[in-house]
Amino acid sequence: MNLKFIKTDLYLSIRSWLRSKGTVFWTILFPILLILIFGAIFSGQDDIEYNLAVQNFDETDLSSQFISIMEESTFFNITTVNKNFEMADYMQENDFKIGLQIPDDFGETIQRYFVDNNVSVNITYFTDPTEQTTGPIVQSIISGMLNEYNNIITNSHNVVGMDHESILGEEFDFIDFFVPGMIGFTIMTSMVYGSIERNTKFRKDGILRKLLTMPVTRYEWIFSKMLFMMFLSFISTFVILVFGILVWGLSIQLNIFFFIIIIATSFMFSGLGMLIGRFVRDPETADMAGGAITFPMMFLAGTFFPLDQMGAELQVIAQFLPLYYVNEALRNAVIYNDIEKTFFFMGFVIAFAVIFFTLGVVFTKWKED
Amino acid sequence: MVEKKVKCPQCGNIITSSGIPGEVVPVTCPECGKKGKVTFEKTGSSENVAIEAINLKKVYGDLAAVDSISFNVKKGEVFAFLGPNGAGKTTTVEMIESIRTPTEGTIKILGNDISKYFDKVKDKIGILPQEFLSFERFTVRETLVYYASLYKNKADIDEIIDMMDLKDQENKLYMNLSGGLKQRVGVAISLVNDPDIVFLDEPSTGLDPKARREVWEVIANLRNKGKTIFLTTHYMEEAEYLADRIVIIHKGKIIAEGALEELISNYGEENILRIKNCKSKDIISILKDNDFETLSEGNGDIAIKIKYKEQILEVLSLLKHECVDYSTIDIRRSNLEEIFLKLTGAKLREAS
């Protein structure tokens, strides 16, 4: 092993990387953008407030009381609609997606209930049918509130209730669950594309042909390049963690397994990139092939969206994707702190790393036909 | 078996003969019947031989890119492999550099069979691959340090920078260099291990005339340092300017081999004296009466074959004596382009 060459290669590769301001910028900015954008999406889930239009035809205090209960909840920002407006027209003109209409016999019916238990009254829920997510969510919130309101009126109480507890413990938020997937995804893209560049551009430029005639083995050269690529992996990971902690109060437990998984993941995807670069020799085509492999994996391996939100078939497909095991291994190692599952998924990551990297090295050819 | 073409000294006819290296084969000219002998140079190992290629063949499917060629390169010489694009030059040099595996044949570098002992000769050779580009964001000095770190025995980087006239460029990034400077750095990289043999595959292709000249000066400088240089090129001027010996390759076969003067003497035409815009109508018959072979080229231009130098003075005397008016006179000797045309029926540039 020519340690002097490996040291020179690593040192000059880092210097060369630092000279490319654009590459440095994107290597650091890309994970920052990811953590900020997705962090904003997932961290703000508890604070969602819906704009609700309410038209009240009832003149009793009971309807005002009901509206006050809704206002006091953190779910709604209520706008009162004048009785003279047509509710549907008003909502369309003023861009409301959800609305509530309280009939004029609302209070009267409630008062009659105390004399005749068989009476009832319905409020009307208006939704925009194109808004498929908000409509059903708000409907279930309002239903829950109506149930509570009915209990108050009828002076009854819930016999069976529900307590909520996070399986991750009090200190974890959704962002903590999301970050490991983002780390895996970032390493995957930088490793695959880095390897593709080494195996296509350097071949085209004659660098691989030249190295073939020099006293260096493929193994030494690939190993020295891997050191540099791992340096990039740790930079990206570090950036994600620092911004996650500073901006979103990320709380994960770093341990030895985390570093083993990062290193194994780097080798795994570097090997995959080598295989792509070996069989698709044109640099532009190889980049596209890299995208064709990494892009679907990003969505299908539970990186940004929990697997249980996907169909059963897609969940089966995920079991065959290396990134799935990276995501699960990282989550179990740094979030769930489940040693048994960490070993299980990490075992797959290491096995994939050995297989892909070995195949990559074996199939990488410097010789021409 | 090696093929060799020779020119009949009596009638000028080109005769193709076959033999094995070291053999002397008797031949008879089919045109004039003159008998002679053709010597096939021995390619066997000797102290003076840097590279030997014996019956080298490379086949792709049905196509023989290199078709059983043999040659040797002597130590300290500039050996040019000249031919059009697709002739088999790069395939040949890449087989010698062990980048490609020959279908058949043997290659020895400094006496070592490279199919078995290429690792032994890696320290002794330096290579500039065709269309080579190095790492974009390394400086010139860093590039040389990088490649030098691969070798146990390395040359002094400062010396190489001085020799290649790169002192002013040493801290510039490779990506910011001109094409000519990149090629100079490429040659400099091939010297980081102070090699005995330097392979330069089309070192001046794609460069402007000035940059090409600069690369030629660098190569001439290397020859003066005693390096053996294996040069592939499709520029006849490059081979004429730099090479001690030239091999012309066409469609995978060697069609001529020797020093420039030998090639011209063996395959070239006589020198041609060309009179432009000659006013006299009688001059052609006067020249013929004086045993000159003339070729009328129209518009008053006349070409005269010159077999020996004294004939030039004779023509000039005749023109003066007959008071012939003309615009210019030039004398041109055969070059590699004409030799290639004669041997293949195609122009070197057209074939490229």
Same domain, B186 and B279: no
B345 within a domain of the structure (yes/no) = no
List CB contacts (< 8 A) between A216 and chain B.
Answer: 150
- CB pair distance less than 8 Å for B133 and A207: yes
Would you say residue A133 has pLDDT above 80? no
Same domain, B230 and B323: no
Q: Residue B258 belongs to a domain with what CATH number?
A: 3.40.50.300
Would you say residue A205 has pLDDT above 60? yes
- Number of domains composing chain B: 3
Percent pLDDT > 70 in chain A is: 93
Q: How far apart are the first and last CA of chain A?
A: 28
Same domain, B82 and B205: yes
> Which residue is associated with the tokens 């953190």?
A74
Same domain, B71 and B195: yes
In angstroms, the Cα distances linking B298 to B68, B276, B326 are 45, 10, 14
Q: Which range, of A16-20, A330-334, B191-195, B308-312, averages the lowest pLDDT?
A: B308-312
Name the residue in chain B with its Cα closest to that of A16. B137
Same domain, B252 and B278: no
How much is the pLDDT for A167? 56
How much is the pLDDT for A203? 87
pLDDT band at A169 (very low <50, low <70, confident <90, very high): low
- 3.40.190.10, 3.40.1710.10, 3.60.15.10, 3.40.50.300: which CATH number matches A49-154? 3.40.1710.10
Helix (H) or strand (E) holding B185: helix B179-189
> Which residue is associated with the tokens 């801290």?
B171
- CB pair distance less than 8 Å for A213 and B122: yes
Nearest to B131 among A206, A215, A368 (CB): A206
For the entire predicted model, the pTM comes to 0.73
- Is residue B260 helix, strand or coil? helix
How much is the pLDDT for B349? 64
* Residue boundaries of the structural domains of chain A: 3-43+169-363, 49-154
In angstroms, the Cα distances linking B315 to A354, B150, B286 are 83, 64, 10
Segments of chain B scoring below 70 in pLDDT? 1-2, 21-22, 41-46, 296-297, 348-352
- CB pair distance less than 8 Å for A207 and B189: no
B206 within a domain of the structure (yes/no) = yes
Q: Residue B327 belongs to a domain with what CATH number?
A: 3.30.70.120
Same domain, B231 and B110: yes
Same domain, B144 and B110: yes
Same domain, B229 and B311: no
Would you say residue A223 has pLDDT above 80? yes
Residue of A212, A218, A366, A369 for testing the chain B interface, max B β-carbons within 10 Å: A212
Cβ contacts of A319 within 8 Å, gap of 6 or more:
none
- CB pair distance less than 8 Å for B150 and A209: no
- CB pair distance less than 8 Å for B149 and A2: yes
How much is the pLDDT for A171? 56
Give the domain range for residue B34.
2-39
Same domain, B22 and B76: no
How much is the pLDDT for A294? 85
Same domain, B115 and B240: yes
Same domain, B284 and B321: yes
Nearest to B94 among A20, A207, A368 (CB): A368
Q: Which residue has the higher pLDDT, B201 or A303?
A: B201
- Structure confidence by residue, pLDDT tens digits, A62-111: 888 888 888 887 788 888 998 888 988 898 888 888 888 999 888 888 88
- CB pair distance less than 8 Å for B150 and A2: yes
Would you say residue A33 has pLDDT above 70? yes
Would you say residue A1 has pLDDT above 80? no
How much is the pLDDT for A323? 92
Nearest to A368 among B100, B138, B173 (CB): B100
Residues B231, B145: contact at Cβ < 8 Å? Answer: no
pLDDT band at A173 (very low <50, low <70, confident <90, very high): low
Would you say residue A44 has pLDDT above 80? no
The residue among B205, B123, B126 whose CA lies nearest residue B163 is B126
Same domain, B262 and B294: no
A→B contacts (Cβ < 8 Å), by residue, are 2, 4-5, 8-9, 12, 15-17, 19-20, 205-207, 209-210, 212-216, 366-369
- CB pair distance less than 8 Å for A210 and B189: yes
ipTM comes to 0.76
- Separation between Cα atoms, residue A283 and residue A97, nearest integer Å: 49
In angstroms, the Cα distances linking B17 to B2, B22, B257 are 8, 14, 14
Token pair of B349 as six digits: 């540039």
- CB pair distance less than 8 Å for A4 and B122: no
Task: Tell me the mean pLDDT in the region A316-332.
Answer: 89
